[in-house]
Amino acid sequence: MKISEMLKTRRTVSFEFFPPKKEEGENVLYETIKELVDYKPDFVSVTYGAGGSTQEKTVEWTTHIKKVHGLTTMMHLTCVAADEDSIDRITGAVDAINVQNLLALRGDYPADMPIEQRGGKFRYASDLVAYLRKKHGDKYCLGVAGYPEGHPEASGMDADIENLKRKLDAGGDFIISQLFFDNEHYFRYMDRLEKAGITAPVVAGIMPIINIAQVVRFTQMCGATVPQYLVEKMDGKSEKNQFMTGVEYAVEQCRGLLAAGVAGLHFYTLNKHGATEAVLDRIR
């Protein structure tokens, strides 16, 4: 089923997984998916390695989740360093497993890619959305990424929202947000989108924090911020203590978003099930 159709009738709950590189990680992910299936997600998504390392794995995991668990799936697809042939190969694989939902992304350039080789046919995610729509019409439901705190490369929030609008005008159906930890960022973002005439649903990206040091490192790269008081509360605390604080915080965050009428909650699971389960047990 297309996610855009679901979003017309209900608030979605979804989970994001990434394809592990090692066998040990794969075993963890098999277990994680088995556990989380019981929570009946509206859809699950599988990330795609822009650098090329795990692209086949993305198709394999998407196939596994769809065939073994019968879940609606969305495959992420990035376009940096891609050409029409490589995108066509991937959509061919997607069609073979009858996946109707794609998250159309630019991705990040590999650090070792020379500047002169960057750009090309697909410079921005909007180019990928336009290509997919031109070639495939309405076959796919296309999600795009949005950044409540702005994308790190954007010259400002207004420019970033203009660029988001380009993706939607090219044929994007809905938005999944970058993770954020302060709902005020999301609420301000929604106000700005409304002023810019953007009406597409925005599914909120949620990451329950279970290891504050790891999340602080990770968010520095993607431009999201962690509230300082949360860092101070969790830093140096035991694993169990951080887990409980992180879950409690995410529960309150989700409750606030649900009360404000959020379109859906998309959990960045990091391939673990405990924290996502604990949050859902409390909010459902």
> Annotated active-site positions, please?
16
Contact 182/225 with Cβ under 8 angstroms? yes
Residue 148 is given by DSSP the state T
Q: Are 180 and 149 in contact (CB under 8 A)?
A: yes
Alpha-carbon torsion angle 100, 103, 108, 113, nearest 10: 20
Determine which residue in the list 125, 206, 209, 230 makes contact with ligand FAD, applying CB under 6 A: 125
Q: Which residues, 6+ apart, have CB-to-CB distance to 91 below 8 Å?
A: 132, 135, 136
Scanning the structure block, which residue is given the tokens 């694989």? 93
Give the residue with the Cβ less far from ligand FAD, 139 or 165.
Answer: 165
Q: Which is nearer to ligand FAD, 160 or 173 (CB)?
A: 160
For the bound state, the minimum distance from the C-beta of residue 271 to ligand FAD, rounded and expressed in Å, comes to: 13
CA distance 28 to 264: 26
Task: Give the helix/strand (H/E) hosting 156.
Answer: none
What residues contact residue 122 under an 8 Å CB cut-off, 6+ apart? 79, 80, 82, 83, 87, 106, 128, 131
Is 190 or 234 the residue whose CB approaches ligand FAD more closely?
Answer: 190
Considering only 25-33, 146-154, 182-190, 243-251, which stretch makes contact with ligand FAD by CB under 6 A?
146-154
From 5-13, 88-96, 124-132, 244-252, give the range in contact with ligand FAD by CB under 6 A: 124-132
- Which residue number, 166 or 282, has a Cβ lying nearer to ligand FAD? 166
CB atoms within 10 A of CB 21: 12
Contact in structure between 43 and 70 (CB atoms under 8 Å): no
Give the interface size with ligand FAD as a residue count (CB under 6 A): 25
Which of positions 89-118 make contact with ligand FAD (CB under 6 A)?
103, 105-108
* Interface with ligand FAD, residue 154, by CB under 6 A: yes
- Using rule CB under 6 A, residue 7 touches ligand FAD: no
Q: Which residue, 261, 259, 241, 253, is CA-closest to 279?
A: 253
Distance, in Å, from the CA atom of 203 to the CA atom of 216, rounded to the nearest integer, reads 23
Q: Return the range that interacts with ligand FAD (CB under 6 A); candidates 26-34, 84-92, 120-128, 180-188.
A: 120-128
Among 54, 78, 91, 245, binds ligand FAD (CB under 6 A): 78
- Minimum gap (Å) between residue 235 Cβ and ligand FAD: 26
Does position 76 bind ligand FAD by CB under 6 A?
A: yes
Residues 219-278 that bind ligand FAD (CB under 6 A): none
Q: How far apart are CA 119 and CA 109, in angstroms?
A: 10
Q: Which residues bind ligand FAD (CB under 6 A)?
A: 47-48, 50, 76, 78, 103, 105-108, 124-126, 145, 151, 153-154, 159-160, 163, 166-167, 176, 178, 205
